[in-house]
A and B are shown apart, each in its own frame.
Chain A
Amino acid sequence: MKTENLKDRAILFEQKIARDEKIEPKDWMPEKYRKTHIRQISQHAHSEIVGMLPEGNWITRAPSMRRKVALLAKVQDEAGHGLYLYSACETLGVTREELYAQLHEGTAKYSSIFNYPTLTWADIGAIGWLVDGAAIINQVPLCTTSYGPYARAMVRVCKEESFHQRQGYEIMTILANGTKVQKEMAQDALNRWWWPSLMMFGPTDAESVHTAQSMQWKLKRKTNDALRQQFVDQTVPQADILDLQIPDPALKWNPERKQYDFGPIDWEEFWQVVKGHGPCNQERITARVKAWEEGEWVRDAAVAYADKQSDATLQKAI
């Protein structure tokens, strides 16, 4: 392509984004835009799939029939989200197999929160309330992001996540109003999930390497710190209703800012988990690799059978 022509296209592309028009798979896009979107959408898809594991850990032990079916349906929703997101990613010219390979080799990332273990039933409530709550805050702005297939997938994802968040909060409400042992279980879960949930918004703005470009492409609409603040302000009153204590002695309402002040995040822990040193990093990837490898003969059989069927159809047609 001639340089002049390329320049024109780049200008048209930027104008389109500025006008809030969607970029569609067949539209011209800069290589960097394509790569950034593959990275972000696939990370998001991987997070959904890996996220099935800590919650799936409690499906077989859910305490009532109602909770069992609700949790099963919820984890199934996450699989569905993974499916839309991998499909959205595939429109950018990469295959699902390639994306899986990146996850399995450790070259692609997923949300670090899923490297923490689910130790009690209350963790299922805490994940719904806090982790899905944080995810919604991160994801709602993506419903209007510039890449069409991603934006459309996010509309559905957010609707379902909002339902999950309510379900998680309902679990916490029952526990917080239950017996002493149930309330302790709820408090313990909040203690363990609070800080990792705040870390879900990523490094502080000063440390975030992708923020500027992502804001320009509307792949991000607010900074990490702004979103984190929004989460704290939204969640503290919810904890108050449950009569549970947020495990942060520095947490305090700031009447001037009309926001909560909160204590420092342990970024050393955050980076350790990102680097693979979280409590369950190895277990999560091992589980994904095992499912993939053990399923290989099944996928091969499906392909072989489909080939035989299309050969037979062809023979009939001849």
Chain B
Amino acid sequence: MEKMNTENHIQYIYGIADNSLILGQRLSQLCGHGPTLETDIACTNIALDLLGQTRNYYQYAAQCMGESATEDTIAFLRTERQYRNVLLVEQPNTHFGYVMARQFLFDVYHLLVVTQLQESTDSMLAAIAQKSVKEVQYHQRFSAAWIKRLGDGTAQSHQKIQEAINDLWKFTDELFYQNEHDIAAIHAGVGVDVSTLKESYMTTVTEVLTEATLTIPAETWFRKGGKEGIHSEHMGYLLAEMQYMQRTYPDMKW
């Protein structure tokens, strides 16, 4: 097994953790604005799980980096090009259909990743993954249930969730893209080879969409770039809001 350098290690952690941070941030924008109190509480729970995982990953990354790095410098003081999340998770909360479609398309992938990550030779990552698996199983159960409700609910909900799935589909292929750091992490036995997860992903997604009476998009054109730090235009605004305090009042304790 090859050794990887610290930069690879940290970038690999970002590749996983940034997805949780950005999706957690997106979900937390909805707190207090959900269609029912119950869904509001559930979406906030998912956001809390994701942000909790983010903290575990970032604290570990900060420890690997040493010096003055903290979970907050990692979360709030990087530039847009330094975030490694996939484009899917930064997409806006257009309506509840988009929120659930984004969640579901991510959850199926996320569960496969954390399940495998439990086998990592990096015992800290394996431990975080072990804790996350239980949470992400719930996320997938929740989002899949909503895909079914919306798909097989009313004609209007069917049309809206299909529209969201169609629109977000172009971001799904990037989930299986691997950059140089991912590859180094795989060779070191630390990372998950996500290219091997695509078949399982498609099986689960197809199963749920079919039960929801929805059509699998025929789209073959996909967008990618997030994992290389090339984001959509939505990302800059998300970061401007999220980093506001740290940028306005640098070097203070909160």
Which residue numbers of A lie inside 8 Å of B, CB to CB? 49, 52-53, 56, 59-69, 72-73, 75-76, 79-80, 82-83, 86, 121, 171, 174, 178-179, 181-182, 287, 290-292, 294-305, 308
Residues in A with CB closer than 8 Å to B220 are none
Confirm or deny: B8 has a beta carbon within 8 angstroms of a beta carbon on chain A: no
Contact residue range for chain B? Answer: 35 or more
Complex A-B: 15 CB contacts under 8 Å: A59-B29, A65-B54, A69-B52, A72-B31, A75-B32, A76-B31, A76-B44, A76-B45, A79-B32, A171-B254, A291-B33, A298-B96, A300-B156, A301-B149, A302-B153
Given A79-B40, A300-B153, A304-B154; 10 other pairs, CB 8 A cutoff: A61-B244, A65-B51, A66-B55, A72-B31, A73-B48, A76-B45, A174-B254, A179-B249, A179-B252, A301-B150
Distance between B62 CB and nearest chain A CB, rounded to angstroms: 11
Distance between A275 CB and nearest chain B CB, rounded to angstroms: 24
Contact of A69 among B35, B39, B51, B156 (CB under 8 A): B51
Residues in B with CB closer than 8 Å to A86 are 37
In Å, the complex CA distance between A236 and B242 comes to: 34
Given A83-B37, A300-B157: A65 in contact with B32 (beta carbons within 8 A): no
Given A79-B41, A83-B38, A178-B252: A52 in contact with B153 (beta carbons within 8 A): no
Distance between A289 CB and nearest chain B CB, rounded to angstroms: 11
Given A65-B58, A72-B44, A80-B41: A60 in contact with B156 (beta carbons within 8 A): no
Q: Does B41 lie within 8 Å of A61, measured CB to CB?
A: no
Confirm or deny: B28 has a beta carbon within 8 angstroms of a beta carbon on chain A: yes
Q: Does A305 lie within 8 Å of B149, measured CB to CB?
A: yes
Majority secondary structure of chain B interface residues (helix, strand, loop or mixed):
helix
Contact of A63 among B36, B40, B246 (CB under 8 A): B246
Distance between B77 CB and nearest chain A CB, rounded to angstroms: 11
Residues in B with CB closer than 8 Å to A296 are 35
Q: Does A295 lie within 8 Å of B48, measured CB to CB?
A: no
Confirm or deny: B187 has a beta carbon within 8 angstroms of a beta carbon on chain A: no
Q: Does A61 lie within 8 Å of B34, measured CB to CB?
A: no
Nearest CB in chain A to that of B150: its residue: A301
Nearest CB in chain B to that of A301: its residue: B153
Distance between B30 CB and nearest chain A CB, rounded to angstroms: 9
Distance between B115 CB and nearest chain A CB, rounded to angstroms: 24
Q: Does A82 lie within 8 Å of B37, measured CB to CB?
A: yes
In Å, the complex CA distance between A298 and B160 comes to: 10
Residues in A with CB closer than 8 Å to B253 are 174, 178
Given A80-B41, A181-B249: A297 in contact with B157 (beta carbons within 8 A): yes
Q: Does B34 lie within 8 Å of A291, measured CB to CB?
A: yes
Q: Does B153 lie within 8 Å of A121, measured CB to CB?
A: no
Q: Does B28 lie within 8 Å of A60, measured CB to CB?
A: yes
Residues in A with CB closer than 8 Å to B244 are 61
In Å, the complex CA distance between A287 and B48 comes to: 23
Question: Digit string of B153-165 for contact with A (CB within 8 Å is 1, else 0)?
Answer: 1101100100000
Residues in A with CB closer than 8 Å to B156 are 297, 300-301
